[in-house]
Chains A and B, each alone.
Chain A
C-alpha cells in the first residue's frame, strides 16, 4: 500500500462497532493512517483513532453507549422525540467525548475530517478544524435520537444522510483509501418477508444511504486504489452486542487483507456483496487473483 493512506469510517448504525475490530487489525499489520475521514456513528471511531485511543478505550465506549442509550433503537428514538430527552441524551454523550477527545482538531495526531448534513439545505458539510467534540456530536446527530448541533450558525445533523461513505474530504495527495464499511443494507428476501412497517421504513432509508455510496466509490476508485473492509455480520437496525460486532469486524478485516496483493492498482478491492450488483462498480472491481 502506497502512503499517504486515508482511512474512512462509514455509516453503520448497530454495526458501527465492527470498525473497532477492523482498526485493531490495521494496527497489528502496521498500516497507519495519514488522514482519517468519518461520518455518522463512524465519526466516533474516526475521531478516537485520530486521538490515538486504544482499541480497549473504543470498545469500552461502545459498551457504554449501548447500555446507556442505544440498547433499543426504537426506545432511543421514542425518548429523543421529546426535546428535553434528546438534549439529555446528547449531554451524556458530549460529556463522554470531552473525557476521551482533545478539545480541538488541531491537537490531534492525524488530520481528521468529519462529514455532517446541513439541516436547512441538505448539503454535505465537512469539518476539519475547531471544536472537536462539537463536530463529532454534529456528525453523529442521528435524527430523532440527538438534537441538531449548530456550528457557525448552521444546524447540522447526521452526515450519513448525504455521505454514508464520506469520500468528499479525501485529500488530493492520498495514494490509498481504506474504507471500513459497515453500511451493508441488503438483506435476504425471506428476512424482509417478516418485517414490520417501521423496519420497512428504516431499511429503505439505509438503502438510500447505500445507493449514494456507489457514486462516491466510483469517483474515488477511478483515481486511486480503494480497499474496502466490509462486514455484513450483525444487524444494521439492532444494537444488540457491540462485542460480537467488533469480533465480526476483526474476522472480516483479517480475511480480506490476507488476500490483498502486495502492489495495488486503481480500482476497488473486496467489493462487498450488494454493491457488486452495480455495474459501474463491477467495472472498477479488481479481481482477487490479480497481482
Chain B
C-alpha cells in the first residue's frame, strides 16, 4: 500500500512541531496552485505543514487550490482534517454529476459543455461561510476575466461564487458572471498565483503545487498534441510566476510527485495525497535541521525536484545536506 512510513530518526530530531516559522519572513502566504484531481497533493502537503509551527497570514489559491485553501481559511485548526474528508470522497460526480458525458455532448451552443450546479451544491455542503471577508484566515481566489484575459483576485464578496469562477475550466464548465463580468478558471492567467501573493504584500511564500503527470511517451498524433497544449502553457506560466517572485522573495517550493494520472481522474487521489505528505514532510524536516537563519530571496526547493526546470535553476537555493 502507498502509506507514509514513520519519520526517520533524523526527521524526528528536527523537533516537534518542526520549527519552520523562524525561517519565513512575515507575512507568510500559502500559494495553492490549480490542478484538478492533482489538488490531492496539497491535502498531503497541508498535513505536513500542520506538523510545523507555521501559520499562514493569508492563503491565495486558484481553481482546486482555491477550494482546498478556502476550507483551511474557514477554520485553521480543523481545516486540515476537513480537507482530508473532502479529498477522500471527491470525484467527478461531486463536480459535474453522474451523467456528465452524455449531457456534455448535447450542449453545442452553450458557453460551457457542463453546468456548475453540481459543483455549487458540493461546495455548499462543505463550506459554511457566506462571504470571503468572514473567513478566519485572509483568503483570496484567483479567476480569469474572460473579456480581458487578466487575473482577477476575489478577496471579498460571496465565497461560493468566487470559487466557482476560479474553477470554471474554459470550454468545459460554464463561465461565471459576477457583478456584470464573465469569469473563467484562473488557470488561463495565474494557475500558480505567486505574483498575485507578492502584489498583496507577502513577505515569503510557501508554494503548494499540484505535481505532474507521468511523462508518457510523447506521441505526435493530433489528439496527443492537442492534449499537450494545456500542459505546455501551464508550465510556461508556472515558470514565469516562480521566476518573477523568487527574484524578490523567499519562495519555499514543497516537493510534489511527478508520476500522477490524468488531472480529471480521481482514482488515485489517496496515493497523491500520501506522496504529497511524505515528500513535503521530509523536505520541511531537512530544512529545519540544516537552516537556522531566515531564508533570503530565491527558490528554496530540493535540487532534484523535477518541478525546478532548467530556466528556474539559476534561482535555486539548496539546503546543504
Contact = CB atoms under 8 A, between A and B. Distances in A.
Nearest to A79: B222
A47 B311 CA distance: 28
Contacts of A187: 147
Contacts of A206: 149
Interface in B282-321: 309-311
Contacts of B149: 185-186, 203-204, 206-208, 210-211, 274
B147 A188 contact: yes
B225 A81 contact: no
Interface string A163-197: 00000000000000000000001111101110111
A261 interface: no
A204 B231 contact: no
A33 to B, nearest CB: 27
Contact of B184 (A82, A200, A215): A200
Contacts of A204: 144, 146, 149, 170-171, 184-185, 188
Contacts of B225: 119, 143-144, 147-148, 157
A113 interface: no
The size class of the interface chain B forms with chain A is: 35 or more
Contact of B147 (A119, A161, A192, A202): A192
Interface residues of A, number: 47
B215 to A, nearest CB: 8
B102 interface: no
Contacts, number: 127
Given A161-B233, A192-B182, A123 B222 contact: no
A28 interface: no
B232 A83 contact: no
A130 interface: no
Which of A120, A122, A157, A191 gathers most chain B CB within 10 Å?
A: A122
Contacts of A155: 218, 220
A249 interface: no
A205 B150 CA distance: 12
Nearest to A148: B220
A81 B222 contact: yes
A86 interface: yes
B144 A196 contact: no
A83 B175 CA distance: 32
Residue from B113, B144, B222 whose CB has the most chain A CB atoms within 10 Å: B222
Interface string A117-128: 101101100000
A122 B235 contact: yes
A110 B236 CA distance: 30
B237 interface: yes
A74 to B, nearest CB: 12
Contact of A189 (B150, B182, B188): B182
Given A83-B221, A200-B146, A274-B149, A162 B232 contact: yes
Contacts of B1: none
A5 B237 CA distance: 29
A255 B110 CA distance: 39
Nearest to B228: A119
Given A119-B228, A204-B184, A81 B111 contact: no
Contacts of B147: 186-189, 191-192
B181 interface: yes
A17 interface: no
B189 interface: yes
B240 A212 contact: yes
Interface string B224-242: 0110110111011100100
B218 A120 contact: yes
Interface in B161-181: 170-172, 175, 180-181
B222 A161 contact: no
Contacts of A161: 229, 232-233, 236
A83 B222 contact: yes
Given A200-B171, A212-B237, A212-B240, A277 B148 contact: yes
Nearest to A120: B218
Nearest to B237: A208
A81 B188 CA distance: 24
B98 to A, nearest CB: 20
Interface string B123-156: 0000000000000000000001011111000000
B212 to A, nearest CB: 11
A227 B221 CA distance: 39
Contacts of A195: 111, 146, 175
Contact of A119 (B109, B110, B218, B235): B218
Given A186-B148, A201-B170, A204-B146, 12 more contacts: A119-B225, A143-B225, A148-B220, A161-B233, A186-B147, A189-B181, A196-B111, A197-B171, A200-B146, A204-B149, A205-B229, A207-B144
Interface of A: 80-83, 86, 117, 119-120, 122-123, 143-144, 147-148, 155, 157, 161-162, 185-189, 191-193, 195-198, 200-212, 215, 274, 277-278
Interface of B: 107-113, 144, 146-150, 170-172, 175, 180-182, 184-185, 188-189, 218, 220-223, 225-226, 228-229, 231-233, 235-237, 240, 244, 309-311
